[in-house]
Amino acid sequence: MEKLLIKNGSILTMSTQEPSIFKGDILVEDNRIAQIGRDFSTDEIDTVINAEGKVVMPGLINCHNHAAMVLLRGYCDDLRLMEWLKEKIWPAEDRLNGDDIYWGTMLASAEMIKSGTTTFADMYFFMDEVAMAVQDSGIRAALCQGLLFNDDNGDKRIKATQRLFDNWRGKAAGRITTMVGPHAPYTCPPDKFKLVMELAKDLDSGIHIHLAETTEEVNQMFSEYGKSPTKYLADLGLFESHHVLIAHAVNLSRNDINILRDLKGGISHNPVSNLKLGCGIAPVKELRDLGIAVGLGTDGAGSASTLDMFEEIKAAAWLQKNRFFDPTVITAYDVLQMATIEGAKALGLDKEIGTLEQGKRADIIIMDIQKPHLYPQNDICALLAYSANGSDVDTTIINGKVLMQNRVLLSITEEEVLHKAQQIAMKILR
C-alpha cells in the first residue's frame, strides 16, 4: 500500500456548515484519505509533504467545460454567442481531429492541475481521445459526448456516447465517470430528446445539458414551442426521472426556478463565461435558497478564456452581491462550498470527492499563502475566495497521486504540451 503523509498544514476540510480551519496532518493510503488529525505513527510512509504555513483543502471541481476548446483560446473574442458559435467556433471545431483533441485536453489538464482543479465535467467530441488525455494526465473527469441533432450526425453521436460508456466508464483507476450529454433544448427536438432520456435510463447515467444561457435561446424556444427551455425539459419529464447537471441556468423566470425546486443533480454556474459573452447573471441566490446544489464551472476556454477556478469563485461572489446591492447575500465560504462540495453534488460524486474526509478519494490541493497578496492572515476563507489565484496552488494531489509539487507538473511534460498546442492552433486557425 502506498502511503502519503501531508504534515503540519492548515486544514480546511469544507465538510462543516461553518468555516473551520485547524492545524494537522492528513494520511493518504493509495487513492483515499485514511486519517485526518495529528501524530499518526509515521513508519512505512513512502512520501512526506511538509505543508507548514500552507492551506490544505479539497481540490476544486470545474462543473462545466469543453476542455480541448483551450485550442481556440483567443481565436475570436467579442462576438455574440450565436454568431460566435455558428460562424467561428463550429467551423473551427470541424477542422479538429482526434489527435488535436488529445493535445487540447492535455493542455487544459495542465492548466487545471496547475490552478487547483482536480475534477472537471466535460462535454465535447472525440471522447476516446479526451478519455486518453484524462488517463495520461492523472486528472479526474465526468465525460460526455455532446449530442446535437441540428445536422445528419445525430445518430453517430448517440453511438459515440454508447462507445464512451463501453470503453471508459470507471476506467483510469476510477477517475473517469461518464454522463449522457444532450447539448441544449434548442439543438435537441422532443423526439430526439426522448431517445436521449431512454439512453440515459438504460445506461443508468446522469445527464449534462446547457440550459437558458441567453435570452435569444429563451425567445427561440418560446416561438418554436410556446414555452421556456426549462418548461420544455420539464414537460418531457426530465427533472423527475434523471440526475441532471445543468450548465448556465442564467435566464430563468420565477416559474422556471420553481420547476427546478426538486432538481436531482445541480447547476454549473459559469460566471466568467456569462459575463464575457454578455449573457446575464444567473439567479444563484434564489437557486441555493431552494437547496439546489450550485457548483462552479469555467465553460470552454474559447469563451471564458481561462480555466482558473479562482476567477469563477470571485466572479460568483461579486455578481450576487451586486444583483442585490447587498454584500451579505453570499459569503466567501459560500463560494468556496460552490467550488468544492456543491460541485461534487451537481456531478453526483459527493460521496467520493468535494471535501476532505476519511474514506473519500484523496483529491487535495495545497495553497502557498506565504505571499504579499495573502497577508496579513486573518480570515483564511476570505483570502482564498477573494485574494488568491490559481498560481498560488503549490501542490495538487488527485486520487492519491501527487501530480504537481512546488508548481512543477509531474504527470505532464509541460513544454511538449505547449508546443503541440501552438502547432495545432497554427494549423486550424490559419
User: What minimum distance in Å lies between the beta carbon of 244 and Zn ion?
Assistant: 15
- Binds Zn ion (CB under 5 A): choice among 25, 111, 129, 299: 299
Cβ of 196: how many Cβ atoms within 10 Å?
Answer: 25
User: What minimum distance in Å lies between the beta carbon of 416 and Zn ion?
Assistant: 28
Cβ of 38: how many Cβ atoms within 10 Å?
Answer: 11
User: What minimum distance in Å lies between the beta carbon of 399 and Zn ion?
Assistant: 26
Q: Which residue has the cell 425567445?
A: 219
Burial tier of 288 (Cβ tally within 10 Å: 0-12, 13-18, 19+): buried
Q: Which is nearer to Zn ion, 178 or 395 (CB)?
A: 178
User: Is 353 within 8 Å of 367 (Cβ atoms)?
Assistant: no
Q: Which stretch binds Zn ion (CB under 5 A): 74-82, 293-301, 321-329, 340-348?
A: 293-301
User: For 410, which DSSP code?
Assistant: S
The number of C-alpha atoms within 13 Å of 277 and in the hemisphere containing its C-beta is 27
In this structure, what C-alpha cell is assigned to residue 359? 474514506
Q: Which is nearer to Zn ion, 246 or 385 (CB)?
A: 246
User: Is 292 within 8 Å of 266 (Cβ atoms)?
Assistant: yes
Q: Which is nearer to Zn ion, 114 or 210 (CB)?
A: 210
User: What minimum distance in Å lies between the beta carbon of 18 and Zn ion?
Assistant: 33
Burial 68-101 (b: 16+ CB within 10 A, else e): bbbbbbeeeeeeebeebbeebbeebbeebeeebb
Torsion angle, alpha carbons of 325, 328, 332, 333, to 10: -140
Q: Which stretch binds Zn ion (CB under 5 A): 124-132, 144-152, 297-305, 322-330?
A: 297-305
Q: Which is nearer to Zn ion, 183 or 401 (CB)?
A: 183
Q: Which stretch binds Zn ion (CB under 5 A): 89-97, 190-198, 237-245, 296-304?
A: 296-304
User: What minimum distance in Å lies between the beta carbon of 124 and Zn ion?
Assistant: 9
Query: What is the residue type of 288?
Result: R
Q: Which is nearer to Zn ion, 270 or 399 (CB)?
A: 270
Q: Which is nearer to Zn ion, 86 or 427 (CB)?
A: 86
User: What minimum distance in Å lies between the beta carbon of 290 and Zn ion?
Assistant: 23
Cis link prior to 283 (omega < 30° from 0)?
no
User: What minimum distance in Å lies between the beta carbon of 63 and Zn ion?
Assistant: 11
Euclidean distance between CA atoms 390 and 388, whole angstroms? 7
User: What minimum distance in Å lies between the beta carbon of 297 and Zn ion?
Assistant: 8
User: What minimum distance in Å lies between the beta carbon of 181 and Zn ion?
Assistant: 10
In sequence order, what are the beta bridge partners of 4?
A: 28, 47
Task: Give how far Cα 296 sits from Cα of 117, 279, 337, Å.
Answer: 11, 16, 10
Q: Which stretch binds Zn ion (CB under 5 A): 69-77, 190-198, 256-264, 294-302?
A: 294-302
CA 152 and chain centroid, separation: 30
Q: Which is nearer to Zn ion, 81 or 131 (CB)?
A: 81
Cβ of 327: how many Cβ atoms within 10 Å?
Answer: 12
Three-state secondary structure readout of 229-274: HHHHHHHCCHHHHCCEEEEECCCCCHHHHHHHHHCCEEEEECHHHH
368 forms part of the interface with Zn ion (CB under 5 A): no
Q: Which is nearer to Zn ion, 9 or 146 (CB)?
A: 146
Q: Which stretch binds Zn ion (CB under 5 A): 105-113, 167-175, 291-299, 306-314?
A: 291-299
Q: Which is nearer to Zn ion, 299 or 368 (CB)?
A: 299
> Minimal CB distance to Zn ion: which residue?
299
Binding residues for Zn ion (CB under 5 A): 299
